């Protein structure tokens, strides 16, 4: 929890309380439905919460922004971002029902009013969003295919609407078809070793080569 205060020092008491409560909620729910590995649950603030918040170091979502979290699993990156941006609307989607069950319990336990969830494949989700966020779901070409047509054309941020994807390792092959992709190194923002290879990939709306 100190990690969150270290990198996000100006939050409200309510936001810190919500972040602090996440550990107990996930520990409890993970015993019933395993959505986070044992090792990871002991380091939930580093490996899940702070990692998810890496997206916020690249872009601050404005009030009223619509965000789609594709393949949210246990709620990452969507839940930490929803706590950080309480006036932004988050739609968390996963094709596995038991994962959405845990997310629903965490949303309720955290009293988050800006999160909607759907148990479905993303290809079946209607509507458009300003940004699509994700972590560890599919290689970029597959992901772009799945989310085609789901990004709203009218932009309202300093970054054009698009995809903000948490990825790791060498991305040169995976992103070779996307010359407009921007790679932001999380080690530039967070000093912990875990972030040495972690990145946020930003792909603007018109990402055709």
Ligand X SMILES: C[S@@+](CC[C@H](N)C(=O)[O-])C[C@H]1O[C@@H](n2cnc3c(N)ncnc32)[C@H](O)[C@@H]1O
User: Which residues are known binding-site members for S-adenosyl-L-methionine?
Assistant: 71, 76, 122-123, 135
The stretch among 3-11, 89-97, 155-163, 172-180 that binds ligand X (CB under 6 A) is 89-97
Q: Are the C-beta atoms of residues 127 and 107 closer than 8 Å to each other?
A: no
For residue 135, what are its two tokens?
């972590």
Contact in structure between 67 and 75 (CB atoms under 8 Å): no
Per the annotation, binding residues are 71, 76, 122-123, 135
Task: Confirm or reject binding of residue 122 to ligand X (CB under 6 A).
Answer: yes
64 touches 158 (CB < 8 A): no
- Identify the helix (H) or strand (E) that includes residue 66: strand 66-70
Site for ligand X in 141-160 (CB under 6 A): 146
Where does this chain touch ligand X (CB under 6 A) — which range of 17-25, 60-68, 95-103, 174-182?
A: 95-103
Q: Site for ligand X (CB under 6 A): which residue of 8, 45, 76, 178?
A: 76
Instruction: Candidates 12-20, 92-100, 156-164, 177-185: pick the segment binding ligand X (CB under 6 A).
Output: 92-100
Q: Does 136 bind ligand X (CB under 6 A)?
A: yes
The least distance separating ligand X from the CB of residue 135, rounded to whole angstroms, comes to 4
> Checking phi first, is residue 108 left (phi over 0); if not, alpha (psi -120 to 50) or beta?
alpha
H/E element holding 89?
Answer: strand 89-94
Coil, strand, or helix at residue 166? Answer: strand
CB 201 within 8 A of CB 182: yes
Nearest approach, Cβ of 72 to ligand X (angstroms)?
5
Q: Which residues bind ligand X (CB under 6 A)?
A: 70-74, 76, 93-96, 99, 121-122, 135-137, 146
């Amino acid at each position: 929890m100190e990690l969150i205060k270290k990198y996000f020092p100006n939050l409200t008491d309510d936001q810190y309380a919500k972040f602090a409560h996440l550990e107990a909620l996930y520990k409890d729910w993970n015993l019933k439905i395993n959505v986070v590995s044992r090792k990871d649950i002991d380091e939930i603030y580093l490996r899940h919460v702070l990692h998810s918040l890496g997206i916020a170091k690249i872009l601050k979502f404005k009030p009223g922004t619509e965000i789609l979290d594709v393949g949210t699993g246990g709620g990452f990156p969507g839940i930490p971002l929803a706590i950080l941006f309480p006036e932004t609307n988050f739609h968390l989607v996963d094709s596995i029902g038991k994962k959405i069950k845990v997310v629903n319990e965490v949303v309720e336990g955290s009293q988050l009013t800006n999160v909607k969830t759907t148990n479905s494949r993303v290809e079946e989700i209607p509507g458009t969003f300003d940004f699509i966020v994700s972590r560890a779901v599919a290689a970029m070409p597959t992901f772009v295919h799945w989310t085609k047509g789901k990004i709203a054309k009218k932009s309202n941020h300093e970054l054009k609407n698009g995809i903000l994807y948490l990825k790791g390792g060498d991305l040169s092959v995976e992103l070779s078809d996307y010359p407009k992709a921007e790679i932001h190194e999380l080690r530039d923002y967070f000093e912990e070793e875990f972030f040495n290879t972690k990145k946020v990939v930003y792909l603007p709306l018109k990402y055709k080569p």
